[in-house]
A and B are shown apart, each in its own frame.
Chain A
Amino acid sequence: MKNHVRSYRTDADMSQADLAAAVDVSRQTINSIERERYDPSLELALKLAAYFDCRVEHLFALESADE
C-alpha cells in the first residue's frame, strides 16, 4: 500500500514525533508507515486522515490504484 503521510506531515511542518504523539503511536511506527514498511490498522489510518483533515483514500492507496 502506498501513502502520502510524509508529504502531509511535512506540509504541516511537523516532526515524526509530533505526529506520533498526536495519534498515540511511537515515532518508529510513523517512520515505518512513511517508509511503506508497515501498513497501519484501519483505526490508525482513520485517525491520521482525521488529523490531517483529509479523506483516508487521499492518504492511503492500493499500489494498483495508483498505476
Chain B
Amino acid sequence: MNQASRLLSTYTADVSGVCSALYELGGLTVMHDASGCNSTYNTHDEPRWYDRPSMVYISALKEIDAIFGGDDKLIRDIVETARQLQPRFIAIAGSPIPMLIGTDFSAVAGVIEQQTGIPTLGLATNGMHDYLSGISMALCALARRFCHTPVATVGSHQPSVNILGATPLDFSITGNIEALCQAFQSNGYEINSCWAMNSDLDQLANASAAQINVVVSSSGLALAQWLKAQYGTPYFVGIPWGKQGAEAYFHALKQTLTSGQDGCFYTGIASQSSGKQVLIIGEAVNASSVKAALLLQKGWGNIQVACPFVENTSLLDAQDIALQDEKQLRQLMEQADVVIADPLYRRFRKNDKAQIFVDWPHEAYSGRIYRQQIPVLVCEHFDLWQKGWLKVK
C-alpha cells in the first residue's frame, strides 16, 4: 500500500499533456476516451479553454465501441470533422480503454491521413503516465512530422533560441512564458520558436534555424535530443529564475552557445549541508532552477528538490530525489524547515508552526484552484515573490 496516494492528489496524465502541447497550433486533437472521463482536461488542465478556441474533442467511446474496437467509427467521425474544420494537422491520443483493447493509433492515423490528406499523428498515450510524457510525445511527433532542414537566410546579428517544453501545465498563463521570452531578448537572443506557447506551427517547423535549444521542462528534453541528432543544435537545460540566477544562467548559456556542447544551468551549483533545510517539490527543471536561484543568493545552502515524476528524473541532480511514495515525501517534509510546493502539499505540513510553507501552485497538480497565486519567477520577478515569504525565513 506504500504506493497508494491516500492524502495527496495526482498530477494530470499524458493525454492532457498532449492536448496542452498542441492547443495553439491549429490542429484537431481527439482524445479517444469515454465522454466525461476527460472533463478534467477542460475544467482543470486547460486555462486557455474559455478564452481561446481550439479544436479539442473526445471520441465519446462507449462500451460497445470498446468491444468491437470501434476503429471504423473513430476514423469516420474524425474524417468527417476534419473535412468540415480543415485543421493544419490531426492528432489522436489514447486513454486506458484503447490501451486495453490494443488500438493501433499509428495505423488509425495512417488511414485518416490517407482519407483526408491532412498530416495525422497517432499518439499512444494511455492515461497512466504523467503529463510530461504526453507533452514530450506530442512535441517529438510534431518535430518529426513538420520540422524541415534550415533554409539559407541572411545571417542575423543575434543568436536565436527555441524554447522547448513550455505549456500552461508547468508555467500557467500568468506571464511566465512572456517574461521568459523578454528575458532572452533583453540578453541578446531572438526567439525562433517556443514549443508550444505563443508560437504557430510554421515557427515550430522552422526550429532548425535556431542556434541553441533551451529546455525549460523535462518534457522538452527528448525534443532537444532529437533536434541535436537531426540538426546538430546544442541544448541548454534550465530557466533563468531570479536576478542572480538569470545572470549565471545567461553566462552559462553563452558558454554552451560558444562551445556547442550541451549544458545545464543548475548542475554544479551545489547544495550545502548547513543552514535551514529547504525542500522544493516540483517538476525537475523548474524546481531545480528555483533551487539554483536560491543557492546563488547568500544565506541559502541546504536545498533539496523532490520530483514527483519517477519517469522524468534524468534532469535531476544526483543529490535530489525522485519521489516514490507518500511515505517518503512525509519523511522529507518532516525534516524540512522550509517547503516550497503546491498548496495541496500543505496536507503533509509538519505540525510545527516554525516550518515555513511557501505556496508555489502548479497547474498540472492543483489545476485552476490557485491559478491567481501562481508567481512569475523570471529574473527579478523571483526576488519580488521571495520578498513575500523571505521575512519569515
A binds B: no
Residue ranges of B at the interface with A (Cβ–Cβ < 8 Å): none
A→B interface (CB under 8 Å): none
